[in-house]
């Protein structure tokens, strides 16, 4: 099986075998409908040929401006949205035999098999208000995944209490309702819910962007501690490179439904290969006030995902753009070890990191 999968992999494949999630050419188009008969007049290409992978126990940061398809990518992986195309390979323990994980394609999975996989992948959401049902107690909210999978038993309440304590809540919070908690506490409840079935991969969709700055750091630390304790892999979605910098082992930068660049965090920050990454990084505030870098102002707006530009989607805003950029879509390729980029001029350009 591993060999069969290995054959299917192309050049974006990781060299190591501890891959937990391998997304290949994932696409999600939302139809645009018009008129009484709801004729489809076009598509929003929210996720358009996205490839990345996540290793066991590591954090992959997924960054990009608002509307570039980060949320859609996360939700399509876990099949909240049906993928339009592409494959999502996941190394599943539940479907594997005698403790050995098995690579399965989530994009092709039927509903009942997918339900089993859902024990291994969970989500943390952005909005601390909307992500908890106001009519359920904290205990019921955290227990819900267990109930769904028929794993709620006599000692489950004890498990839930210890989970609540682990995320920094008190046992007596069990019978309270979400509206009694602050934003940071609610996010902890959401994290406890995500961990209640012992998942191996957690998709965190901007888990801290709705929180106060002081609470953000606490929550990020909690997520890191939990990662070490439970050997979790994270896909950490954010629109802000400085948040991702702290927590990510590797970073994938998205632009209008595509991954522009993917590399180890340090590598990416020190040697960006994509002009878009460089522009994003010039906007990150520097800790040293004496160090003044010019901020690269991108002209124009983010491209419209329902009507993207030709060639490289970034060309109307790119200050290095040349004729070829308008015509040909750049290939997403591994230019340096473990460093992937989609830019025609990546080889020749020397870009500034942080």
Partner 1 sequence: MVAKAGTRREVKAKQVSQSYLSLVWWKFKKNRVAVFGGIILILMYFCMCIIPEFIAPYDLEHSTNFPEARPQTIRFIDAQGKFSIQPFVYGLDKKIDEKLRKRVFVENTSVKYPISLFVKGDKYKLLGFIPGDIHLFGIRNAQKDQYVFIMGTDSLGRDFFSRIIFGGRLSLLIGLIGQVLTLLFGSVLGAVSGYYGGAVDMFVQRFTEFLSAFPDIPLFMALAAAIPKYWSPIAVYFMLTIILAFVRWGGLARQVRGLILSLREREYVLAAKSAGASDARLMFQHLLPGTVSHIIVIATLSIPGMILAETSLSWLGLGLRAPLTSWGVLLQEAGTVYAIRFTPWQLWTVIFILIAIMAYNMLGDGLRDAMDPYGGR
Ligand X SMILES: Nc1ncnc2c1ncn2[C@@H]1O[C@H](COP(=O)(O)OP(=O)(O)OP(=O)(O)O)[C@@H](O)[C@H]1O
197 touches, from partner 1, Mg ion, ligand X, none (C-beta below 5 to 8 Å by class): partner 1
88 closest CA partner among 174, 177, 201: 201
Site for ligand SF4 in 310-339 (CB under 6 A): 312, 314-315, 318, 320-321, 325, 330
Residue 326: closest CA among 302, 308, 300: 308
Angle between helices 183-195 and 156-166 (to 10 degrees): 130
Beta carbons within 8 Å of 60's beta carbon, 6+ residues apart: 52, 53, 54, 233, 234, 235, 236, 248, 249, 250, 251, 252
Nearer to ligand SF4 by Cβ, of 30 and 320: the residue is: 320
Q: How many residues does the chain have?
A: 354
Q: Any contact of residue 30 with ligand X (CB under 6 A)?
A: yes
Site membership for partner 1, residue 144 (CB under 8 A): yes
For 173, the 3-state DSSP assignment is helix
Q: Which span (56-64, 88-96, 130-138, 261-269) binds partner 1, by CB under 8 A?
A: 130-138
Show the tokens assigned to 95. 């479907």
Q: Which of 239, 258, 317, 339 binds ligand X (CB under 6 A)?
A: 239
Strands 339-341 and 121-124: unpaired
For residue 320, the partner it binds in partner 1, ligand SF4, ligand X, none, with Cβ less than 5 to 8 A by kind, is ligand SF4
Residue nearer to partner 1 on the CB measure, 115 or 352: 115
69 binds, among ligand SF4, ligand X, Mg ion, none (CB under 5 to 8 A by kind): ligand X
What token pair was written down for 185?
């506490």
Chain residues binding Mg ion by CB under 5 A are: 71
Question: Which own/partner pairs from 108-115 qualify as long-range (CB within 8 Å, at least 24 positions apart)?
Answer: 109/79, 114/79, 115/149
| 247 touches, from partner 1, ligand X, ligand SF4, none (C-beta below 5 to 8 Å by class) | none
Nearest partner of 205 among 167, 243, 177, judged by Cα = 243
CA 303 to chain centre: 21
Applying the rule CB under 6 A, the residues between 59 and 118 that interact with ligand X are 64, 66-72
**Which candidate, 207, 172, 210, 212, places its Cα nearest to that of 191?**
207
Q: From residue 257 to residue 286, what is the string marking binding to ligand SF4 with x (rule CB under 6 A)?
A: -----------------xx-----------
Using the rule CB under 6 A, is 345 a contact of ligand SF4?
Answer: yes
Helix 156-166 × helix 138-148 angle, to 10°: 120
Residue 46 is a binding residue for ligand X (CB under 6 A)? yes
| CA distance readout (Å), 228 to 223, 246, 261 | 9, 15, 27
Q: Does 126 bind partner 1 (CB under 8 A)?
A: yes
Which residue is it, tokens 């070890």? Answer: 337
- Told to check if 33 binds partner 1 by CB under 8 A, we report no
115 touches partner 1 by CB under 8 A? yes
CA 63 to chain CA mean position, Å? 8
Q: Across the strands, what pairs with 203? A: 123, 235
Shortest CB 27 distance to ligand SF4, Å? 20
State yes or no: residue 194 binds ligand SF4 (CB under 6 A): no
Question: With CB under 6 A as the contact rule, which of the stretches 25-33, 41-49, 72-80, 342-350 interacts with ligand SF4?
Answer: 342-350
By CB under 8 A, what part of segment 178-237 binds partner 1?
A: 179-180, 190, 193, 197
**Tokens found for residue 335:** 């230019």
Neighbours of 240 (CB within 10 A): 16
201 binds, among partner 1, ligand X, ligand SF4, none (CB under 5 to 8 A by kind): none
Interface residues with partner 1 (CB under 8 A) are 38, 75, 78, 80, 114-115, 118-119, 121-123, 125-127, 129-136, 144-145, 148-149, 172, 175-177, 179-180, 190, 193, 197
Q: Which residues bind to ligand SF4, rule: CB under 6 A? A: 274-275, 312, 314-315, 318, 320-321, 325, 330, 343-345
Interacting residues toward ligand X by CB under 6 A: 30, 44, 46, 64, 66-72, 239, 305
């Amino acid at each position: 099986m591993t060999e069969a999968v290995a054959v299917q992999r192309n050049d974006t494949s990781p060299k190591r075998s501890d891959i937990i999630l391998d997304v290949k050419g994932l696409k999600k188009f939302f139809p645009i409908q018009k008129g009484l008969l709801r004729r489809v007049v076009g598509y929003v290409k929210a996720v358009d040929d996205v490839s990345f992978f996540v290793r066991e126990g590591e954090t992959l940061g997924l960054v990009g401006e608002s509307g570039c398809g980060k949320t859609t990518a996360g939700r399509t992986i876990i099949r909240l949205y049906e993928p339009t195309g592409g494959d999502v390979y996941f190394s599943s323990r539940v479907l594997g035999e005698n403790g050995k994980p098995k690579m399965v394609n989530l994009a092709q999975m039927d509903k009942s098999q997918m339900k089993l996989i859902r024990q291994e992948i969970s989500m943390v959401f952005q909005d601390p208000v909307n992500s908890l049902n106001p009519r359920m107690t904290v205990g019921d909210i955290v227990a819900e995944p267990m109930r769904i999978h028929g794993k709620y038993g006599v000692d489950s309440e004890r498990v839930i209490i210890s989970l609540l304590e682990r995320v920094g809540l008190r046992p007596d919070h069990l019978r309270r309702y979400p509206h009694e908690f602050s934003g940071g506490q609610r996010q902890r409840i959401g994290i406890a819910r995500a961990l209640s079935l012992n998942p191996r991969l957690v998709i965190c969709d901007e888990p801290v962007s709705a929180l106060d700055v002081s609470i953000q750091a606490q929550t990020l630390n909690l997520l890191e501690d939990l990662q070490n304790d439970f050997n979790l892999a994270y896909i950490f979605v954010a629109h802000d490179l400085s948040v991702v910098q702290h927590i990510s082992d590797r970073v994938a930068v998205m632009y209008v439904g595509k991954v522009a660049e993917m590399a180890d965090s340090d590598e990416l920050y020190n040697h960006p290969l994509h002009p878009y990454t460089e522009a994003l990084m010039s906007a990150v505030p520097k800790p040293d006030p004496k160090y003044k870098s010019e901020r690269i102002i991108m002209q124009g707006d983010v491209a419209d995902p329902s009507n993207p530009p030709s060639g490289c989607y970034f060309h109307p805003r790119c200050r290095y753009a040349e004729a070829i950029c308008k015509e040909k879509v750049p290939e997403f390729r591994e230019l340096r070890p473990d460093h992937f980029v989609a830019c025609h001029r990546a080889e020749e350009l020397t870009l500034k990191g942080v």
